[in-house]
């Protein structure tokens, strides 16, 4: 007995919230797969509705619509077996919220009918493990197999049965799992093991809607290859491409659909970030004689960052219908990288670069801006802001305020920091927003993750914009991306060396004069890593941990910055602690308030600001252990 299964991987681009578009894509791919003599076509999890839809799941009209489109796919399954994800609704039951019961479901159809009801309460399979960390929200909307088992008074493993069907005259048994079901390490239930022990299983199929994060595909390959090798069952993983968002955070989906042999080798993988229909032959029942494995690419470096950021930006523009953008050009690294990226995505004729000097902007950065614009061949203009800023300062400080309780008048005073922020808002909310509207497009937010962490930005100023495509990159990653753009993407120095080499500065006062080497208060080679420990570490560090590591001499190792750095920056514990508290205060204080009103962030890392990093405006807190440690270090 042997079957060379021709399986088509339907690595489709899913349009979230658009069952009409997605069904059209699926029907087209099914037809193409049929022509290529595939036995089976596999689509991603939630292929019909999309996965990240906010609370759209609460609209019964939308659910009925998804059901209808799902029926169309099932009806079109003549001559091919189709596996796909959709929401399944049990209108006779409710979820824990009292709304109609919804499942994140795996459908197996062939010749117009569904398979699997012989050994399961429904004619589809449902997700067992619902991720509820990071951006994931499955438990909010869907009823899991764990809850169903509890309700039915059954054991979870009783419900984890393979789906039996016949293909090309052979009976085969599918282990159908949905995304997180394949990542069971931290759960008490292990779906793959359970299904296999209810087997035998001939093929494991994991349909996913799995967002890209830097280095995640390396991990997928380790985990899935391990599962195939351990069970001895070939495994097909199908993931979608495209972008999806939950408002504040925008995720790219890399696809990277992959077939693993029962020995745990990668037999085939689709290219990332590209819709693809690929037919792969999988030797079922006799896994020995398959072709040698292929090596999937490493997905950790600058190339992956560029790929995700440019793909995500292009798709975000497309989905919001923005065809032209305005980028405020300061002569610094962030806006330069933003300008180069958008030019690459939209073409130079759709990118308007605006330099907005005040009296604090050096000739150096003004020239660098002009040079960058020239290298990119974009639309370019210079709109000085000094007159307008002077007018505002004059108006605010000269217009009397009346105290109506007694009729006395007084005047407001504009302090230097207030003036800095007036400049930043003048640039964004007055000039850029106005130009963008006149130009018929949006203006970009060029903030990076280091600034976002500590709110080193002005609300309605440089934090404004329709999209923050660099805001999940630490400053050192922005530099990496700049080098990559020059060397690999444009293959010439579009971002002038001077912009890469100059000290990072906001140039909002003479204290930030770049030509005197003055700039930002953030020491990126250290603070990038300190901030990362605050927000990205799975077990998030607080000042208590940082201070303990500092006292033990373990800090650089623990946060991953260059050895010897801490001693070279801080004279002693007093300076170290003052710096630590300064940034912790910013991160948990004003930083939160600013992020609440920040633009959508494009996710790259394992933890992006927004829906993946939920936070309350609760102010600054130090644990009692921190207070004790600090006191002992300072010798109080």
Select the residue interacting with a second copy from 81, 378, 502, 608 (CB under 8 A).
Answer: 378
Tell me: does residue 418 bind a second copy (CB under 8 A): yes
77 or 350, CB closer to a second copy? Answer: 350
In whole angstroms, the minimum distance from the beta carbon of 191 to a second copy comes to: 13
**CA–CA distance, 424 with 437 (Å, rounded to integer):** 19
Q: Is 244 in the site for a second copy (CB under 8 A)?
A: yes
Residues with Cβ within 8 Å of 172's Cβ and at least 6 positions away in sequence, in order, are: 3, 5, 164, 165, 166, 202, 203, 284
- Tell me how far apart the alpha carbons of residues 601 and 472 are, in angstroms, rounded to a whole number: 7
Among 439, 474, 531, 576, binds a second copy (CB under 8 A): 439
Q: CA-CA distance, 107 to 578, in Å (whole number)?
A: 58
Judged by CB under 8 A, the chain residues 152 through 211 that form the site for a second copy are 156, 185-189
Measured between alpha carbons, how far is 631 from 459 in angstroms, rounded to an integer? 36
Min CB(91)–a second copy separation in Å: 12
Pick between residue 280 and residue 555 the one whose CB is nearest to a second copy: 555
What residues from 515 to 534 belong to the interface with a second copy (CB under 8 A)? none
CA distance 287 to 281: 11
String of contacts with a second copy for each residue 447-486, x by CB under 8 A: ------------xxx--x-x--------------------
List 387, 515, 552, 575, residue binding a second copy (CB under 8 A): 387
Cβ contacts of residue 593 below 8 Å, gap of 6+?
A: 455, 459, 617
200 prior amide bond cis, ω within 30: yes
| Residue of the chain from 50, 85, 242, 328 that contacts a second copy (CB under 8 A) | 50
Cα angle vertex 612, ends 606, 615, to 5°? 130
How far apart are CB 573 and a second copy at their closest, in Å?
19
Return the residue of 246, 330, 361, 486 that touches a second copy, per CB under 8 A: 246
Residue length of the chain: 636
> Judged by CB, which is closer to a second copy: 19, or 332?
19
* Alpha-helix residue ranges (DSSP H) falling in 153-215: 156-159, 191-197
- Per CB under 8 A, the segment of 281-289, 292-300, 368-376, 570-578 that binds a second copy is 368-376
**Strand, helix or coil for residue 496:** coil
CB of 409 to a second copy, least distance (A): 9
Smallest distance from a second copy to CB 234, Å: 28
Would you say 164 or 386 has its CB closer to a second copy?
Answer: 386
Q: Which residue has the tokens 């060397």?
A: 487
Exposed, middle or buried, 385 (CB in 10 Å: 0-12/13-18/19+)? buried
Q: Count residues contacting a second copy (CB under 8 A)?
A: 133
Among 35, 92, 568, 624, binds a second copy (CB under 8 A): 624
User: Which listed residue (4, 60, 222, 560) binds a second copy by CB under 8 A?
Assistant: 60
Q: How far is the CB of 221 from a second copy (least distance, A)?
A: 19
Distance of closest approach, residue 227 Cβ to a second copy, in angstroms? 17
DSSP state of 13: B
Q: Which is nearer to a second copy, 382 or 500 (CB)?
A: 382
Count CA atoms closer than 13 A to 168's CA, side-chain side. 12
Task: Provide the minimum distance between the beta carbon of 468 and a second copy in the complex, in angstroms, as a whole number.
Answer: 11
With contacts defined by CB under 8 A, name the span among 48-56, 157-165, 281-289, 576-584 that binds a second copy. Answer: 48-56
Q: Pick from 2, 4, 150, 294: which binds a second copy (CB under 8 A)? A: 150
Query: DSSP string of 220-267?
Result: HHHHHHHHHHHHT--EEEEE-EEEEE-SSEEEEEEB--EEE-TTS-EE
Quick one: which of 7, 443, 439 has its CA closest to 207?
7
Nearer to a second copy, 17 or 525 (CB): 17
Query: Which CB atom, from 187 or from 484, has the smaller least distance to a second copy?
Result: 187
Among 12, 29, 52, 608, binds a second copy (CB under 8 A): 52
Is residue 147 within the footprint of a second copy (CB under 8 A)? yes
Residues in region 569-598 near a second copy by CB under 8 A: 592-593, 595-598
Closest C-alpha to 353, from 384, 376, 332: 376
Of 168-176, 304-312, 518-526, 543-551, the segment contacting a second copy by CB under 8 A is 543-551
Of 587, 465, 488, 479, whose CA–CA distance to 530 is shortest?
587
Q: Of residues 292, 415, 564, 568, which one binds a second copy by CB under 8 A?
A: 415
Nearer to a second copy, 489 or 592 (CB): 592
Pairing relation of β-strands 81-94 and 100-110? antiparallel
Question: CA-to-CA distance for 517 and 505, rounded, in angstroms?
Answer: 9
- The interface with a second copy within residues 77-106 (CB under 8 A) comprises 94-100
- Read off the tokens for 64: 């009925």
554 contributes a contact to a second copy by CB under 8 A? no
């Amino acid at each position: 007995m042997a079957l060379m299964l021709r399986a088509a991987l339907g690595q489709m681009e899913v349009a979230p919230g658009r069952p009409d578009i997605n069904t059209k894509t699926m029907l087209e791919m099914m037809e193409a797969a049929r022509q290529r003599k595939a036995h089976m076509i596999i689509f991603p999890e939630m292929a019909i509705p999309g996965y990240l839809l906010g609370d759209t799941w609460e609209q019964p009209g939308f659910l009925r619509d998804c059901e209808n489109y799902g029926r169309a796919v099932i009806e079109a399954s003549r001559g091919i077996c189709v596996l796909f994800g959709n929401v399944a609704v049990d209108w006779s039951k409710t979820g824990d919220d009292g709304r109609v019961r919804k499942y994140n479901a795996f459908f197996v159809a062939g010749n117009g009918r569904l398979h699997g009801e012989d050994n399961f309460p429904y004619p589809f399979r449902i997700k067992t493990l619902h991720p509820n960390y990071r951006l994931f929200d499955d438990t909010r909307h869907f009823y899991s197999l764990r809850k169903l088992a509890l309700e039915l008074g059954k054991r979870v493993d009783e419900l984890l049965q393979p789906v039996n069907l016949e293909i090309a005259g052979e009976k085969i048994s599918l282990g159908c799992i949905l995304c997180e079901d394949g990542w069971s390490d931290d759960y008490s239930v292990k779906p793959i093991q359970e299904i296999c022990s209810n087997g035998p299983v001939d093929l494991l199929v994991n349909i996913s809607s799995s967002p890209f994060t830097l280095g995640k595909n390396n991990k997928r390959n380790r985990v899935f290859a391990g599962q195939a090798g351990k069970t001895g069952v070939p495994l097909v993983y199908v993931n979608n491409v495209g972008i999806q968002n939950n408002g504040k955070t925008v995720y790219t989906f890399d696809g990277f659909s992959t077939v693993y042999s029962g020995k745990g080798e990668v037999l085939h993988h689709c290219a990332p970030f590209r819709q693809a229909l690929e037919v792969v032959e999988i030797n079922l029942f006799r896994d020995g004689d398959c072709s040698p494995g292929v090596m999937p690419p490493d997905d950790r470096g600058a190339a992956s960052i560029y790929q995700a950021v440019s793909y995500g930006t292009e798709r975000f523009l497309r989905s919001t219908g923005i065809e032209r953008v305005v980028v405020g050009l300061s002569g610094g690294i962030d806006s330069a990288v933003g300008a180069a990226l958008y030019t690459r995505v939209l073409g130079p004729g759709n990118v308007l670069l605006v330099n907005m000097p005040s009296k604090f902007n050096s000739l150096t950065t003004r020239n660098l801006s002009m040079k960058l614009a020239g290298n990119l061949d974009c639309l370019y203009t210079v709109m000085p802001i000094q007159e307008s800023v002077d007018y505002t300062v004059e108006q605010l400080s000269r217009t009397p305020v009346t105290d109506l309780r007694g009729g006395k008048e007084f005047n407001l005073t504009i302090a230097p920091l207030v003036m800095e922020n007036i400049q930043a808002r003048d640039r964004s909310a007055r000039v850029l927003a106005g130009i963008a509207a006149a130009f018929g497009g949006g203006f970009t937010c060029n903030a990076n993750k280091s600034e976002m962490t500590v709110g080193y930005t002005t609300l309605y100023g440089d934090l404004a914009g329709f999209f923050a495509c660099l805001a999940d990159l630490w400053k050192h990653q922005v530099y990496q991306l700049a080098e990559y753009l020059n060397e690999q993407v444009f293959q010439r120095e579009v971002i002038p060396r001077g912009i890469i080499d100059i000290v990072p500065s906001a140039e909002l006062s003479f204290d930030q004069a770049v030509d005197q080497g003055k700039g930002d208060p953030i020491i990126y080679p250290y603070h990038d890593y300190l901030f990362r420990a605050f927000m990205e570490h799975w077990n998030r560090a607080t000042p208590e941990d940082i201070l303990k590591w500092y006292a033990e001499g373990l800090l650089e190792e623990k946060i991953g910055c260059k050895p010897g750095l801490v001693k070279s920056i801080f004279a002693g514990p007093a300076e170290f602690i003052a710096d630590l508290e300064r940034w912790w205060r910013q991160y948990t204080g004003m930083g939160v308030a600013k992020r609440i009103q920040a633009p959508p962030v494009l996710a790259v890392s394992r933890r992006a600001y927004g829906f993946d990093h939920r936070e309350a405006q609760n102010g600054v807190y130090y644990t009692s252990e921190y207070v004790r440690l600090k006191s002992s270090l300072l010798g109080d």
